[in-house]
Amino acid sequence: MTETRPSSPLDSGVSVSLLGTGPMGAPIARNIIDGGVPLTLWNRTRQKAEAIQGGTVAARPADAAADVVLTVLPDLPQVEALLEGDDGLLARWAQAGVVEPVLVIHGTVSPTAVAAFAAHCKSRYGVVVIDAPLSGGTIGAEQGRLSIMAGGPQSVVEWLTPLFELYSSTVMWFGEAGSGAIVKACNQIVVAATVTALSESMALAKASGLDLEKVQAVLKGGLANSEVLQQKGGRWISGDFDGGGSAKNQLKDLRFVTDAAADAGLALPVANTLKSAFETMVTEGLGDLDHTGIYLSITSNRAKEPS
């Protein structure tokens, strides 16, 4: 990238890469490629990147050191691991003379940690970090209607927006790096609460001998409707909780929530209760299931609750 940024990240002179082609990263990559943007892909399990048609697969992170690097990884340590060493992004950016490369962090990370990381990357390496968590789930990613909550330099977020809009329907800037992660923490309180409330609702309905499809139809027709119910309602009906957004990642996010609340001087009793519920689920060995699998934890523990 030259000293003056091109007018758009979609310009032919701007290189773009995506690191992390998991359940969210893969559909994001497909939408970018379908939008006509040449895309370099890297994933620790190479076969997952190779399964995406139209992309160029990098053998190591250094080979994906583009002007704009999108990372779709679970947490900040995984991003940090991609920077250092001969195979890392920093060495290749320096070798290629890339000026102010942009590193976008789409994962859900600690607000405090990403703010410090962004300041470190800018002051030491000249790398602009945008914390841009996502909401909308795999269906939102597939349909290109994710919500992006962004923190970092406003001018860079505005410049990135045409690229973001290839896989998102809402892009909102909130302030300096770390602010996007705070908004995602707010989002995760609502998501975790909704998933847990629906799981308790379905547990009560099933224990009462009711038809879950009919119960969900009524919920969808009223104030209890939600995107969570629309996307994930079938899981409670089928009893299939494999894959999806894992409970252990939900717990990670809730720990960020309670840490951020403590920094803000807030107690957030509901968030703390949710964190405890997901800690129980993970302790029970259910952490790799979709977070809707908290239904199994609820139903397995019902006899232990006082009447």
Indicate the pTM of the whole model.
0.92
pLDDT tens digits along 105-152: 999 999 999 999 999 999 999 999 999 999 999 999 999 999 999 999
Q: In the prediction, which pLDDT does 217 show? A: 98
pLDDT tens digits along 47-90: 999 999 999 999 999 999 999 999 999 889 999 999 988 889 99
Torsion of CA 33, 35, 36, 37, to 10 degrees: -60
Percent of the chain at pLDDT above 70?
A: 97
Q: In the prediction, which pLDDT does 4 show? A: 67
**Residue 16 β-bridge partners:** 39, 68
Q: In the prediction, which pLDDT does 5 show? A: 79
User: Do 37 and 10 meet the contact criterion of CB atoms below 8 Å apart?
Assistant: yes
Residues 6+ apart with CB under 8 A from 210: none
Domain residue ranges of the chain, discontinuous segments joined by +: 16-177, 183-302
Q: In the prediction, which pLDDT does 2 show? A: 46
Q: In the prediction, which pLDDT does 64 show? A: 96
Q: In the prediction, which pLDDT does 245 show? A: 87
pLDDT tens digits along 8-60: 899 988 999 999 999 999 999 999 999 999 999 999 999 999 999 999 999 99
Phi/psi region, residue 175 (left: phi>0; alpha: psi -120 to 50; beta: rest), is left
Helix boundaries (H) for the chain: 25-34, 46-50, 76-80, 89-96, 111-125, 137-143, 154-164, 179-207, 212-220, 227-238, 247-263, 269-281, 294-300
Q: In the prediction, which pLDDT does 3 show? A: 55
pLDDT tens digits along 258-283: 999 999 999 999 999 999 999 999 99
Across all residues in the chain, what is the average pLDDT? Answer: 94
Which two three-digit tokens encode residue 92?
């290749």
CATH number of 16-177: 3.40.50.720
Answer yes or no: CATH 3.10.20.30 is held by domain 183-302.
no
Q: In the prediction, which pLDDT does 303 show? A: 47
Q: Is the model more confident about 38 or about 2?
A: 38
Q: In the prediction, which pLDDT does 71 show? A: 98
Asked whether the predicted pLDDT for residue 306 surpasses 50, the reply is no
Q: In the prediction, which pLDDT does 243 show? A: 85
